[in-house]
Structure 1
């Protein structure tokens, strides 16, 4: 099965599970409060449904348009825009006849379920597989540092001993922490044995984002070539696996990252690449491609399976899963600010970007990790105060509860229409970005 098909199947399965559970989060409290639910659909049934069956007062079904799902609650202004029903006198089983606090619980049900589902999955992962962390003991050569961070005082071979003055548990999360959290300082042990605390800019995450430097710290890799990819410049250059690259155009290089950065700067231009082979040096002339790549790699096999395994009891897994879910939500909210920058707008993705979160070979652990992440994301996106989303309904309900006045139903209808068109525009923009990246990047 092709990698595309594997990703597509995982995406469809994951979204189906999350959509059904999200809508159940609205359905269950609606039934508890004796509110009539007329439809419960996975995917949208525009004009027709693939499958549908009426059980009691509710029609259950599967639509043909896989852009979400919905429950149609009687007496509620939603995406169905059922103006005929809303023109009739309110009935006791309708949403609009219920107390505001009951309507609020119904509207918050979907988001609440998404949060709970994400946390439960993380609890299950912690209990079944534990946690793998990377400490300085797992990084025998320390970190390789990007040029931007070298200018701040960091060096290749640094070991991070503290962040904001406190020990840092999992160095594998260091880059993400820098990008999304308030990091004021990092304490490092330099290769010469000296220790230094380096202060960072107030908004180091934004600096990283604008510079495209989201991985300033990576495990140190040597310049020994262990892989040469076909159809790349190095394949016909005479370079061989086992060669150690020692210089680019006469300038010494000692780390794979430093070599890659030097090659990138020379993209499209012939360079003299000096290697050490069998105790002697040889120089090869080779031209990096337009992406600034030669097609050589050091896969750092010394780091494969080099991590610390932590196993958890069931009770510890509950605490760990809740904490992890909270941090995922917190980090997603923190990175949301980047959407409102010129660079961030181009990174917005649709179904293609979501599908690429899944691996191209089937792996249940990765599937559930990604499903939990998407569940948390769906919770956040749905609670945004945009009409047509759950958050829009919640916003108007809170207004009603604070002021004691219901918004005019005609106003709610127009707000719903505006919100719906905004969502359609966002979906088109996001998936348009996916198509653009597929065609041109």
Structure 2
């Protein structure tokens, strides 16, 4: 329960910061262009507010439904669906009477703040905490590789030297590169010391994702059994927590990746597990579950070696900008996976986001996740869906290019459809969380 509360508190604080700053991104240019802002709310105030206070022409408040926040700008068709106001003659302080370029800046203000905030947080993290990384020689036993990677010549124990001819210093990032980056060759060092260049296909990320072969490469570390789940296939076969696993279907198991990838290759077929017990080898026949698990918990007995690098203020600005750029680019690359049947089933809601935070309070991790969420919200808000900022921007660009403004009725219907679509997506994502909590 304590872990859940800590994660929930981090999620609440992070989203509160992001929502307030996003809405400030709309509020500030609206005020600069002398546009009346009637409400500024953290969370939604359906029927009632937890707190509200009117200062000048704006009511500032906190709603009870923590699904976002909003600013209500006079003379704008938004989620408030204030048809009475729109039926009145246009006033000089209203959004609808402002030039299109001013309205465009007001609507883009929120996502601009999201992106700037993400970049600034990354710069701060690098300046305050620096970064930890692992190079080729820090992965003592090399990488274990999945079945898909073996098809392209990768071998168990390979160490990564370079990617596309460039030295690869943070080798634990290799899975992100395979999924999201356009890479052609990976140079590896074999266990024998031989150096070899291996080609990877353009669709390697798609192949790995569809095969469920992730992570594609994992550092090899010695391990031992910690526990065996009650009534699991391993328990029913007689596996003991004190046993030492030495083989799987006749192949040696020295590292946890040997076991993990071996189970994946085996699927749910009956397997032979060789264990060392009281200085003797015992062979156990085990029938895995449908998802190719046998019900064991293991502990890796060594840790990955890491190095630390500190940054000057100038270096932090440069590297933080680079990190923000690649975060945006990698997040955009995820959409090719989300819009698939398999990807849609993995979309998560608030529980999934909450689980991104560590079980104990860690300010570095908190700010890193907040930076990522800020960029994620910026990207999502730019999607051309009515009811999102991107939808408003889409209609404004149409107006600026064509010289014709969409009618109020059209905008009202578009806003309603967009709002229904967003609610459906929220319910779907959080429904996935509930399903996984019950059945996984």
Which TM bucket (shorter chain)? over 0.9
After TM superposition, the structure 1 = structure 2 runs for residues 196-215 of structure 1, keeping only pairs within 5 Å, are 196-215=196-215
Q: Structure 2 vs 1, CA of residues 161 and 374 (structure 1 numbering), >3 Å: closer, same or farther?
A: same
Distance in 1 separating the partners of 2:117 and 2:396: 25
Q: Does 1:259 align with 2:259?
A: yes
Matched-pair contact (CA < 8 Å) for 1:228–1:234: no
Instruction: Identify the residue that residue 190 of structure 1 maps to in structure 2.
Output: 190
Instruction: Identify the residue that residue 302 of structure 2 maps to in structure 1.
Output: 301
Instruction: Identify the residue that residue 111 of structure 1 maps to in structure 2.
Output: 111
Distance in 2 separating the partners of 1:246 and 1:356: 34
Matched-pair contact (CA < 8 Å) for 1:385–1:395: yes
Distance in 2 separating the partners of 1:104 and 1:260: 51
After TM superposition, the structure 1 = structure 2 runs for residues 55-70 of structure 1, keeping only pairs within 5 Å, are 55-70=55-70
Instruction: Identify the residue that residue 179 of structure 2 maps to in structure 1.
Output: 179
Distance in 1 separating the partners of 2:341 and 2:414: 28
Instruction: Identify the residue that residue 101 of structure 1 maps to in structure 2.
Output: 101
Distance in 2 separating the partners of 1:172 and 1:254: 20
- Report the Cα offset of residue 265 of structure 1: 6.0
Distance in 1 separating the partners of 2:239 and 2:399: 74
- Report the Cα offset of residue 274 of structure 1: 2.9
TM-score by length of 2: 0.93
After TM superposition, the structure 1 = structure 2 runs for residues 19-418 of structure 1, keeping only pairs within 5 Å, are 19-222=19-222, 224-225=223-224, 227-229=226-228, 231=230, 237=238, 239=240, 244-263=244-263, 272-276=272-276, 280-285=279-284, 287=286, 290=289, 292-303=293-304, 306-418=305-417
- Report the Cα offset of residue 105 of structure 1: 0.7
Give the stretch that moved more between structures: 387-396 or 280-289. 280-289
Number of residue-to-residue matches in the alignment? 436
Distance in 1 separating the partners of 2:117 and 2:383: 19
Q: For residues 284-312 of structure 1, what are the alpha-carbon distances to aligned partners after superposition, in whole Å with 9 as ceiling and x for unaligned?
A: 53646635234242414242xx1111100
- Report the Cα offset of residue 228 of structure 1: 3.1
Matched residue SS, 2:224: coil
Matched-pair contact (CA < 8 Å) for 2:141–2:157: yes
- Report the Cα offset of residue 147 of structure 1: 1.9
Matched residue SS, 1:301: coil
- Report the Cα offset of residue 276 of structure 1: 4.5
Matched residue SS, 2:166: coil
Distance in 2 separating the partners of 1:9 and 1:296: 29
Matched-pair contact (CA < 8 Å) for 1:246–1:252: yes
Distance in 1 separating the partners of 2:190 and 2:266: 29
Distance in 1 separating the partners of 2:391 and 2:269: 54
Q: Structure 2 vs 1, CA of residues 318 and 46 (structure 1 numbering), >3 Å: closer, same or farther?
A: same
Matched residue SS, 1:155: coil
TM-score by length of 1: 0.93
Q: For residues 29-63 of structure 1, what are the alpha-carbon distances to aligned partners after superposition, in whole Å with 9 as ceiling and x for unaligned?
A: 11111100000011111111111111000001011
Distance in 2 separating the partners of 1:340 and 1:439: 24
Distance in 2 separating the partners of 1:437 and 1:319: 40
Distance in 2 separating the partners of 1:319 and 1:325: 10
Structure 1 residue runs without a partner (length 5+): none
Instruction: Identify the residue that residue 12 of structure 1 maps to in structure 2.
Output: 12
Distance in 2 separating the partners of 1:269 and 1:117: 50
- Report the Cα offset of residue 282 of structure 1: 2.2
Q: For residues 249-275 of structure 1, what are the alpha-carbon distances to aligned partners after superposition, in whole Å with 9 as ceiling and x for unaligned?
A: 444334322223434566777755334
